[in-house]
Structure formats: C-alpha cells, structure tokens
Chains A and B, each alone.
Chain A
C-alpha cells in the first residue's frame, strides 16, 4: 500500500476531536509546568475550555455523516459512523462533568495539578479511539492508552493509602485483562489471518476451518471486556478501586470508561463475530444475569456510598449486557438492542456522575463524607441538593418519569423483543431489589436528623455539574424524544466495510 499524504490529511478530519483533545492535553502539561503552584486551579478552566471546544468538532462529523453511509478511514482502521458519534458524545459529557466536579475536590485533597486534567483529556481521546477502532490492534492500543491514564488517575492522591491500594489493584487486574485480550486477539489472528474486524467477520463463521481457535479467542476477548465493563465474575477489583480512587475519577471510570468498554464490546462482537453469536450469546447472558444479581445483593450490604455505587455499577453493567446480547441479533431486534445500550450509557452517565457529585459535595476538610450516614438530614440542610440526589437515586432505580426509566425501558424491551424472557424477569426483579439500597440513602436524607449543622459549601462548578446532571435526568425522563432521535444515530453501525 502506497503512502498517500493527501488521503491521510483528508482522513484526519474525522479524528479532529481526538487530535484536539490531545493538543489541549499537551498545552495543559506545558502550562502547568510554567504556572506557579497557587495558580494551578486555572488549569481546570483551561481543560474545561479545551473539552468544550471538542464538542462542535464531534457534531461536525455527525453533520458530515448526514444522509451518508458510515465509512471507514485510515485503511479501514477507524470507523466514522453513528455509533462512534454517539459514544463520543457520552465520553465528552462524562469528561466535562468530571472536570466540573473535580475542581473543588482536588482543592480539598490538596492535589490540584495540571497532569490530572491532562490525563482526563488523554483518557477521553483514547476512549474516542476505542469507539472508532475497527481492528483488534487499534482497539488494543486505544484500550491501553485509556487504561494507563486511568491507573494514574486512580492513584492520584499520593498521600492516601486507599488511593494507592486502588491504583495497584486496578493496575494489576487491568494488566491481567489486557494480557487476556491480547492472547485472545492473537488466537483470532491465527485462526482468521486478520486483525480487521470486517475480515474476521467473514472468516469466523461456523464451519470455517480453524473456527474452534477463533471461538477460543473470542471467549478470551469477551472475558477481557468483561473485566473492563465490570461484569461478574470479573468484578473483584471494582469495589476497592472505586472506593479508593478520587471520587471524581470514580465517577469518570464508572461512566465514560465503562461506556468505552461497552462500545468496544459492541464493535468486536457485532462487527467482528456476528457469525458466532450462538457462541458468545450464552456467555454474555450469563455474565448479565450474574452481574445484576450479585451487584444488587452486595450493594445492599454496603455502608460506604462509593462502594454501594460501585456494586450498583456492576449491576448496571449487567442490565446493559442484556442490550449487547440482543444487539447481536439480526434486523430490527438487533438495532433495538444497540440503541438500548447507547441510550442507557448516556443516561447512566448523567445520573451516576450526579450521584458521585453529591458525594463530593459532602466532602469537607475534616469529613470524608462518603458514608451513607453522612447524608443524614440533607433535606433539612439543603433541600435542593437533597432533591437532586433523590432524582439521581430514583433514576438509578428506574422510577419514571426519570431518565433511568427510559434507559431501563429500552433494555427490558430489548430483552423481551429478543425473547430473553428469563433475563428480563431477572432484570426487573433486580431492579426492584436495587430500590432497597437506593432508598436507604433517601431515608437518611429525608427521614433522619442532620448529624451537624455545619452549612454545606459548594462551588459554582460543582453546582453547575449537579444542575446539568439533575436537569438532564429529569428532561430525558419527561421529554425524551429529541434525545432518542439523537441516539438513533447509533444504528448506523458499520458492519463489514472493506478496507479503504
């Protein structure tokens, strides 16, 4: 293949969002080296500005796509399609909200640093590459870049033992899962002779020579992705990692990074192994069932808010896996499943970051504020904040008319439409169970006396993040039409595009 500079340049317009993010990340690194220590706070605003600048570029790609079929660029390694577009939006929302809730938190932790924001942006850029990657190698590189940034972010509170422990656990198990992914990829390559998903899709079909090896590779890849989306039984590190990480980063990895793992799972399973659906479907179904059941039951026992949300996030991964499962089915059913995953991930980003933002709001100099009991009497002291938290919790539990209900509606609908009635029944029963532990927080907020009378102090950025998250949770719940149309973009998934 001949090197064609013009084509490269032309293709580069489709990764302009990623390029911009990296560009701003490097600017921030340079600026933070120059700025005096006291002024580091302003870097946060710079990163906010940079990330906001990326939004129009993502929208521009969507506009380019309008009426046009999805297309592969960079020799078929990078996808330009609706699925990538919608997930890029999710990552941006996640990154923006994370930066907003980070500012005050990092002040209190006395860990304000330029690298922190730069790493968030680099992680976001790698997530975007994950969403567009069409070859196993691209996926691997993007996945690793994101993972490395996040290992550092999780351990960012250098003085904090829990943060260190979390980073180490995350790193060891993350490295482990990467190795498994790589091993699976090599098996698939050996069996099919290609790392391009579109070619794998053609060769990894039942009855093809060497397909047994490909199936083995597929299983390993699925396991590795199970690690990344925090599905049972690959969830062991999650509670510790979530508890120890800086709360803002917990919010980030439980939403954006999970969404990235899901989009990779969709890509690999749908674009790479559509022919082997019968092999991976039971695996995914079992993971879904186990995740939601174990996640919810374990969450009941937690007294620490971050651990509770960690287990709840495992459960939510389980619900979302139902969507992945159904997305692999042909025709309209598959599209419905795909849309369900996309909708749920976006909705989950808003409500879950909102819940973590509340945990951050309770964080004060002398109080960690991450116990469920710390929410006691919140309704008396700060009715608006308590109401926002009520919205997030009820939305997580899937009570209408909130965003979480729309998301669950799609996922349950996908399970019914895909004739996985047993999974749907399990999911709704779990969804009822989950209400129990979400209500525990509500009980604290509304029915218990405040522990102290110390007033809450919040920051404008944190308030803005809470308002956006709460507003969207309500808006998507009551007037979901526009949002659902946007999510319909994710239908245009490039299946078997030939390398360009």
Chain B
C-alpha cells in the first residue's frame, strides 16, 4: 500500500526545488506559492502513513520498505523504511516543512529563488535521515543536509551570520566525520565476523546481541556519541546552537530546533541503544549527568538572556536535556516520554521561533527590553503565545506536560546503581529525576518572565504602537501547532500507541527488564527453583 511512498515523500521537495530553478528570478510570489504547494503536497502524501499506521508492529513496517542495490562493491544499499518511532519524525518534518515555507512569504525578500530551493533541498535531506535504514545512505543524507542549512544561515541570517553559519557547519561536520569512523568500524567488524560487508541496519543491529562486540562497541559508542551529541546538542557541545539559532532566519530556526536537533536524539535511539546496548548501559550514568547538566545549565542561561531568540535557543538546550534524560533512563516510560518530548519540542519551540519571527518582522529587533505591553496591541498573538508558553513549561492539558511527566516517571525508575562515583560521593538513582524536576521549575520561571516582560506592562515604547496583530497567514501557520499541542496534551493515546511496540522492543534490545538495568539489579532473594511447591503455574 505504501510501496514507493517514502521515496516519493523524500524526493517531492527535491523535485520542487529543481522546478523552481526554471522560475524567473523576479516572480517572487510565484516561487513562494509554488514552494508552499510543494511542501503542502509533501505533507498531504505523508498523512496516510500516520493515519493508517499499524500500531501492532514492533519493527519496521514491511509496507513501507524499499530496498535496492546501490553500490554493491561496498555493500551499500538504498533502504528506506519506517517504524513507529521514525514515522512520527517524518510527520513532524513534513508538517514543520510546510509551516516554515509558509512563514517565509514576507520574511524573505532577497534572493527568494535560492532561498526556497535550499529550504526544499533541506527537507529532502532531513526526510532521508529519518527514512534511511542503510548506514551509508543515512550518513549521506546526514551530511547533505548541512549544506543547505549552511546557506540558509549564511545568506539570510542576522548580523553575525557568517560566523554562525561556519560554526554550525564545522561543528557538525567534526561530529559527523567521527561518527563516520564509528560506522566504518561497525561495517568492518560485521564484515569480518560474517563475511558479509553491508551497511544494512537490520543486519548490523544484530551486533547488539554479540557479546564479543562489547570491547569495540565501547569505542564506537563514543564515536557515535560525538556525532549525535553535537547535533542534539548535549552539554558541553551546545555552543554552536545559540549562534546558529539566533542568526538563522525564522524558518531556519524552526527547522533547526524542530527537526535538526531531533536527528541527534533519533540517532541515539536508532543506533546507540539497540546496536551498542552494553555500552549504552555502561555509559548511561555519564549520559544522564550530561543531560541534567544540560537541563539546568540551559535553563539558567536562558533566564539571563536579553535577546528573545537566544532565550528560546537556550531553552532548547534545556528541553533536549529532558529528551536525553528520558532516552537514557533506558526504560519504557523514559523512552516513550523522551521520544514524545522530541515531537513536543519540535511543535512548541518551532512555534516559539515563529512567534519571535512575527515580532521581528515588525520591529526588526529581538531585544526583550524593546517590547512590553504587546498583549494590548496584539491580542490574538498574545493568546497564541500564551498557549505555546504553557506548552513549553509543561502545563497539564498541553503536550509538554505529557512528555515531561512520562520522562520523569521513567527517570524515577532508574535504579540507584546507575550512579556516578566521585571522590567517595555517589550520585545517581532518583537524583537524576530530582534534577529534572528542578529544570521544570526553572523553565516556568524564564518562560513566564519572558511573557511578562514582552506582553504585559505598559506600552512604553512608542515604536510598539505601530505593531499590528497576526495576519491571516500567520494565524494559519500557528494554529496547526497550537492544535497539535492540545491534541497531544488531551489525548496522547494515538502517539503512545504508535510508540508502544517499538519502544517495548527497544527496551528489550537495550537490556531487558522493565527498568532496562536488569543486569545491575542488586542481588535480591534468589529466584524460586522450578520445583518449588510455592511456584504457581
């Protein structure tokens, strides 16, 4: 039923970009409308995936599978396929892709043609990353995507765009080439072991069950870690993010925060956990430590920002820390929450960047102190901003709450053996969850304070009197995000149902048992022998 659909979804934006090449340079409106149509088609054809998803599947849906030989000499194949985890990311990408194109209509006035070409090529790259089930193909898409993003920041960015663009490109490339070494190591190990040199994910993932792979997998874990952690970004690899997010044009920030960052977390979920389970368990305390440092550090730094967009950027560091906390809880709740929170973050932070973009387009400044009392001037805008703020800080009935709650439920299940020892002190177990909770409090503080400083108070700045409320187009692209926030907040069941089986399998792969730390469980009372009369059939 879905035969060829994934390739279609992936390459429709690319085809659109190629067609835009033939547009005359001056027909700015025509190009914008056409790009929007392409993105809309892409979203529309991806909808059946979500609506008709078979939730009983733990693995990859055979209906979506596409497999061709690509470079037989090295065993690289063209393999596309989705499971319950990646289908959510594909949907997020096509939705945010459409919204970011819509948001660019009036924001981009120069070099319009190139802009939409880069935006659409970027979308192909991102979709390819989430769809590829061949490590080589995955890497190709992973890198391809950097080039259009570099141009989006570098050409249409803010004052410091060149610095931000190069920093983004170099930083990410540095991570991904180290990841490439990890990929090569997996490839050669598997080849030497089985005689089959392949990049096929479904085969390579079986290495997770190979006990001899453990020694090598410790190194590979760190190679992958660098690649993914820079993308996430995890503390201390986050320094490219504030620059890139702040300088990028609105659509670029939306895509960066909404989709690009998820590639890092997706990478951990897709590769590190099932392929390197023992190493993942071994290093989980370090990952958790970096995650909670990210949560608290990101929140504290966000609190002191004077730049609206930078504040949102640092809040991403904090929120992505939450996702990592959930993922490396290595249990069902943690992973469910972590993955759902990735989607939530894409929705709410994407919306926050759009909101900054709306005021920036009107006032051309991002300084929080320039604003104040906007709620009187822009009531619709203020209402939407309020909902998104609440979603971001995790108010019940909105999506953030569901995600954070589930993550914390998972984090509280982390056994106390998962701890870091330092000079006789040992921190771990519930500690991670406690740190996470404090992150939520800080999150509420900086978001509400931001809201108060910009929306409430007097309209002191005469410049702000000229500000107009959201126009129809702006409402149109914000409303779907708001609706999704309520949907996940009020009725998250469809999402959890899609995630249920894949996550259960993932937890099984990464270590078995409900907590994911079965091997670390304190030796309790010996299990009842089989012939024990007390044993119940």
Q: Do A and B come from one complex?
A: yes
B-binding residues in A (CB < 8 A): 394, 398-401, 405, 409, 412-413, 416-417, 421, 424-425, 428-429, 431-432, 435-436, 439, 443, 446-447, 480-481, 484-485, 488
Q: Which of chain B's residues has its CB closest to A428's CB?
A: B177
Shortest distance in angstroms between A482's beta carbon and chain B's nearest beta carbon?
10
Inter-chain contact B181/A401, CB cutoff 8 Å: no
Bound form: Cα–Cα A413–B136 in Å: 12
Q: Which of chain B's residues has its CB closest to A485's CB?
A: B73
Bound form: Cα–Cα A485–B162 in Å: 41
- Confirm or deny: B395 has a beta carbon within 8 angstroms of a beta carbon on chain A: no
Give 9 nearest A-B pairs by CB, closest first: A428-B177, A484-B73, A400-B140, A432-B174, A416-B184, A432-B173, A400-B143, A401-B140, A413-B184
Inter-chain contact A416/B144, CB cutoff 8 Å: no
- Contact with A446, one of B71, B154, B181, B184 (Cβ below 8 angstroms): B154
15 A-B pairs with C-beta separation under 8 A: A394-B147, A399-B144, A409-B184, A413-B188, A416-B184, A417-B184, A424-B184, A428-B177, A428-B180, A428-B181, A431-B177, A432-B174, A446-B155, A447-B155, A480-B71
Tell me which residues from 53 to 111 in chain B have a Cβ below 8 Å from any Cβ of chain A: 70-74
Q: Which of chain A's residues has its CB closest to B157's CB?
A: A447
Bound form: Cα–Cα A384–B150 in Å: 19
Inter-chain contact B177/A432, CB cutoff 8 Å: yes
- Confirm or deny: B139 has a beta carbon within 8 angstroms of a beta carbon on chain A: yes
A424 cross-chain contacts in B, Cβ below 8 A: 181, 184
Bound form: Cα–Cα A56–B292 in Å: 65
B166 cross-chain contacts in A, Cβ below 8 A: 436, 439, 443
Known contacts A429-B174, A432-B174, A439-B166; A484/B71 CB under 8 A: yes
Inter-chain contact B181/A412, CB cutoff 8 Å: yes
Inter-chain contact A417/B177, CB cutoff 8 Å: no
Inter-chain contact A481/B72, CB cutoff 8 Å: yes
Shortest distance in angstroms between B117's beta carbon and chain A's nearest beta carbon?
11
Bound form: Cα–Cα A446–B180 in Å: 28
Known contacts A394-B147, A400-B140, A485-B73; A435/B154 CB under 8 A: no
Inter-chain contact B174/A488, CB cutoff 8 Å: no
Tell me which residues from 158 to 193 in chain B have a Cβ below 8 Å from any Cβ of chain A: 162, 166, 169-170, 173-174, 177-178, 180-181, 184-185, 187-188
Bound form: Cα–Cα A493–B146 in Å: 39
Inter-chain contact A417/B73, CB cutoff 8 Å: no
Inter-chain contact A481/B71, CB cutoff 8 Å: yes
Inter-chain contact B139/A400, CB cutoff 8 Å: yes
Q: Which of chain B's residues has its CB closest to A484's CB?
A: B73
Inter-chain contact A446/B151, CB cutoff 8 Å: yes
Bound form: Cα–Cα A209–B292 in Å: 66
B74 cross-chain contacts in A, Cβ below 8 A: 409, 484
Inter-chain contact B181/A439, CB cutoff 8 Å: no
B139 cross-chain contacts in A, Cβ below 8 A: 400
Inter-chain contact A401/B151, CB cutoff 8 Å: no
Shortest distance in angstroms between B144's beta carbon and chain A's nearest beta carbon?
6
A429 cross-chain contacts in B, Cβ below 8 A: 174, 177-178
Bound form: Cα–Cα A447–B181 in Å: 32
Q: Which of chain B's residues has its CB closest to A379's CB?
A: B114
B150 cross-chain contacts in A, Cβ below 8 A: 439
Known contacts A484-B73, A484-B74; A399/B146 CB under 8 A: yes
- Contact with A443, one of B73, B154, B170, B219 (Cβ below 8 angstroms): B154
Known contacts A399-B147, A436-B166, A481-B70; A416/B188 CB under 8 A: yes
- Contact with A447, one of B70, B144, B154, B188 (Cβ below 8 angstroms): B154
Q: Which of chain A's residues has its CB closest to B140's CB?
A: A400
Q: Which of chain A's residues has its CB closest to B136's CB?
A: A409
B180 cross-chain contacts in A, Cβ below 8 A: 409, 412, 428
- Contact with A416, one of B169, B177, B181 (Cβ below 8 angstroms): B181
- Chain B contact residues: helix, strand, loop or mixed: helix
Among B150, B155, B162, B173, the most chain A Cβ lie within 10 Å of the Cβ of B173
Inter-chain contact B143/A399, CB cutoff 8 Å: yes
Shortest distance in angstroms between A22's beta carbon and chain B's nearest beta carbon?
35
Bound form: Cα–Cα A398–B173 in Å: 10
Bound form: Cα–Cα A417–B183 in Å: 12
Bound form: Cα–Cα A421–B140 in Å: 22
B151 cross-chain contacts in A, Cβ below 8 A: 446
Shortest distance in angstroms between B382's beta carbon and chain A's nearest beta carbon?
37
Bound form: Cα–Cα A421–B182 in Å: 10
Bound form: Cα–Cα A436–B150 in Å: 12
Inter-chain contact A417/B188, CB cutoff 8 Å: yes
Shortest distance in angstroms between B147's beta carbon and chain A's nearest beta carbon?
7
B70 cross-chain contacts in A, Cβ below 8 A: 481
B187 cross-chain contacts in A, Cβ below 8 A: 413
Q: Which of chain B's residues has its CB closest to A424's CB?
A: B181
Bound form: Cα–Cα A394–B173 in Å: 12
Q: Which of chain A's residues has its CB closest to B139's CB?
A: A400
Shortest distance in angstroms between A447's beta carbon and chain B's nearest beta carbon?
5
Shortest distance in angstroms between B30's beta carbon and chain A's nearest beta carbon?
19
Shortest distance in angstroms between B64's beta carbon and chain A's nearest beta carbon?
23
Q: Which of chain B's residues has its CB closest to A477's CB?
A: B140
Inter-chain contact A425/B178, CB cutoff 8 Å: yes
Shortest distance in angstroms between B169's beta carbon and chain A's nearest beta carbon?
7
- Supplied contacts A401-B144, A432-B174, A436-B166, 4 more A-B pairs, CB within 8 Å: A412-B180, A416-B188, A432-B177, A484-B74
Q: Which of chain A's residues has its CB closest to B187's CB?
A: A413
Bound form: Cα–Cα A428–B188 in Å: 17
Q: Which of chain A's residues has its CB closest to B188's CB?
A: A417
Q: Which of chain A's residues has its CB closest to B189's CB?
A: A416
Bound form: Cα–Cα A413–B187 in Å: 9
Tell me which residues from 418 to 474 in chain B have a Cβ below 8 Å from any Cβ of chain A: none
Q: Which of chain A's residues has its CB closest to B154's CB?
A: A447
A417 cross-chain contacts in B, Cβ below 8 A: 184, 188
A425 cross-chain contacts in B, Cβ below 8 A: 178, 181
- Contact with A439, one of B169, B188, B219 (Cβ below 8 angstroms): B169
Among A394, A416, A443, A480, the most chain B Cβ lie within 10 Å of the Cβ of A416
A431 cross-chain contacts in B, Cβ below 8 A: 177
Bound form: Cα–Cα A416–B187 in Å: 10
A443 cross-chain contacts in B, Cβ below 8 A: 154, 162, 166
Bound form: Cα–Cα A398–B140 in Å: 11
Known contacts A429-B177, A443-B154; A435/B170 CB under 8 A: yes
A400 cross-chain contacts in B, Cβ below 8 A: 139-140, 143-144
Bound form: Cα–Cα A475–B169 in Å: 24
Bound form: Cα–Cα A430–B443 in Å: 39
Q: Which of chain B's residues has its CB closest to A431's CB?
A: B177
Bound form: Cα–Cα A359–B470 in Å: 50
A421 cross-chain contacts in B, Cβ below 8 A: 181, 219
Shortest distance in angstroms between A385's beta carbon and chain B's nearest beta carbon?
15
Shortest distance in angstroms between B283's beta carbon and chain A's nearest beta carbon?
19
Known contacts A428-B178, A435-B169; A416/B185 CB under 8 A: yes
Bound form: Cα–Cα A90–B82 in Å: 42
Q: Which of chain B's residues has its CB closest to A399's CB?
A: B143
A394 cross-chain contacts in B, Cβ below 8 A: 147
Bound form: Cα–Cα A409–B188 in Å: 13
Bound form: Cα–Cα A412–B188 in Å: 12
Bound form: Cα–Cα A377–B169 in Å: 21
Tell me which residues from 133 to 154 in chain B have a Cβ below 8 Å from any Cβ of chain A: 139-140, 143-144, 146-147, 150-151, 154
B140 cross-chain contacts in A, Cβ below 8 A: 400-401, 405
Bound form: Cα–Cα A252–B180 in Å: 31
Q: Which of chain A's residues has its CB closest to B176's CB?
A: A432
Shortest distance in angstroms between B69's beta carbon and chain A's nearest beta carbon?
8
Bound form: Cα–Cα A123–B151 in Å: 42
- Contact with A432, one of B73, B154, B170 (Cβ below 8 angstroms): B170
Bound form: Cα–Cα A417–B189 in Å: 9
Bound form: Cα–Cα A394–B150 in Å: 12
Bound form: Cα–Cα A11–B60 in Å: 59
